[in-house]
Homo-oligomer: A and B are copies of this chain.
Amino acid sequence: MLKIGIVGGTGYTGSELLRLLCQHPQIKITAITSRSESGTRIDAMFPNLRGALDLKFVTPDQAHLNQCDLVFFATPNGTAMHQVPQLLASGVKIIDLAADFRLQDPEQWLQWYGIQHQCPELLTEAVYGLPELNREAIRNARLVANPGCYPTAVILGFLPLIEANIVDCKLLIADAKSGVSGAGRKANVATLMGEAGESFKAYGIPGHRHWPEIHQILQQVAIAGTKSESKAIFSKKTEHQLDFTFVPHLVPMVRGIEATLYTRLTDNTQDLQVLFESRYAQEPFVDVLPAGSHPETRSVRGVNTCRIAVHRPEYSSMVVISSVIDNLVKGAAGQAVQNMNLMLGLEEGMGLAGIALQP
């Protein structure tokens, strides 16, 4: 059994990680740290784990994380970067579910997260943990930056089109909607049920932290997809060659993300249904729905699947894509387990079987 440690297990991504890892046949959780809850039984905080996990939270000192094969960080942003260098030096592999290693540019990290990065030298080593894009690199990585929830839904929806270089990258819009668990399990007035229940709103229109993350990846894909002689135009100086608009919204539900994506074709000759189905034919966790479908978030509740439908409405010039994930699974803990399997040489889907809970 491989030894797994978890730093920070009291939030939703942490508890979801525990749910999944408890059902994984090849790993053993050796420690879950929480300074504030050390000594508390984990199943006292998360009764769904009763009978599945016989552990208490421990302090970082008690955790002996350097003896683990792999450590997950399910901590607030800006935490992992303090501990990752030392653990890597001990030979431990790392998956960070927070944002510390998602942006390659430390200045951009400072700008969007408001903290000076503590190990900028690792930013380019860290692999962005989207297996559908970076599978081989993940297999060989010491350090994986697990993608954000919105980015996973948005990137998987745009990927086939941008890779095929058939859309106008100057017109990419993602109108994304998330259940409240995306905001985490910390005391906060704005996500009280009295505030978020029976209501709907956009937020973060002036700028959301997932914008630079999505922008960075889509731009990399766009560069890779262009002919070599054109790549120069995507140099750092012309960062905004891609024109990408992102508006997140808060949905009065617990789990689920839907992203509706809009762009325009520069090449009308391809059958988009075929394009999407081909692109994802070998992907175990992306399901392209039949033409004419509209995916529902509940169809992926609790599972690691992203379901996508692509439409070309007759009455408009736009391509419209609808992409759904469970923000806590494919958008966080499930994708982290998928990455773990790749990094540890296990079967990619191990521990991730299961059928969505519908209704």
Contacts and interface: CB of A to CB of B under 8 A. Distances in A.
Interface of A: 12, 15, 19, 22-23, 44, 46-52, 170-171, 173, 175, 177, 179-181, 183-189, 191-203, 205-207, 211, 215, 240, 243-247, 249, 251-256, 258, 260, 262, 287, 289-290, 292-303, 307, 309, 311, 313-318, 320, 322, 324, 353-359
B50 A287 contact: yes
5 contacts: A48-B357, A48-B358, A187-B192, A197-B197, A202-B260
Contacts of A195: 185, 193, 359
Contacts of A299: 47-48, 50
Given A207-B314, A313-B245, A47 B320 contact: no
Nearest to A357: B302
Contacts of A46: 358
A149 to B, nearest CB: 13
Contact of A322 (B205, B245, B292, B295): B205
A52 B249 contact: no
The complex is assembled from copies of this chain, and their number is 4
A171 B171 CA distance: 10
Contacts of A249: 177, 258, 260
Contacts of A289: 47, 50
A324 to B, nearest CB: 8
Contacts of A357: 19, 48, 255, 301-302, 357
B180 A192 contact: yes
A184 B187 CA distance: 13
A101 B184 CA distance: 38
Q: 9 closest A-B pairs (Cβ-Cβ)? A: A199-B298, A48-B356, A48-B358, A187-B187, A175-B175, A245-B316, A193-B193, A201-B296, A180-B193
A264 to B, nearest CB: 9
A45 to B, nearest CB: 10
A290 to B, nearest CB: 8
Nearest to A41: B290
Contacts of A324: 200-201
Given A199-B298, A297-B201, A52 B355 contact: yes
B12 A194 contact: yes
B294 A201 contact: yes
Nearest to A287: B50
A253 B200 contact: yes
B258 A316 contact: no
Given A252-B193, A253-B252, A316 B198 contact: no
A10 B244 CA distance: 38
Contacts of A51: 287
Contacts of A194: 12, 180-181, 183-185, 191, 254, 359
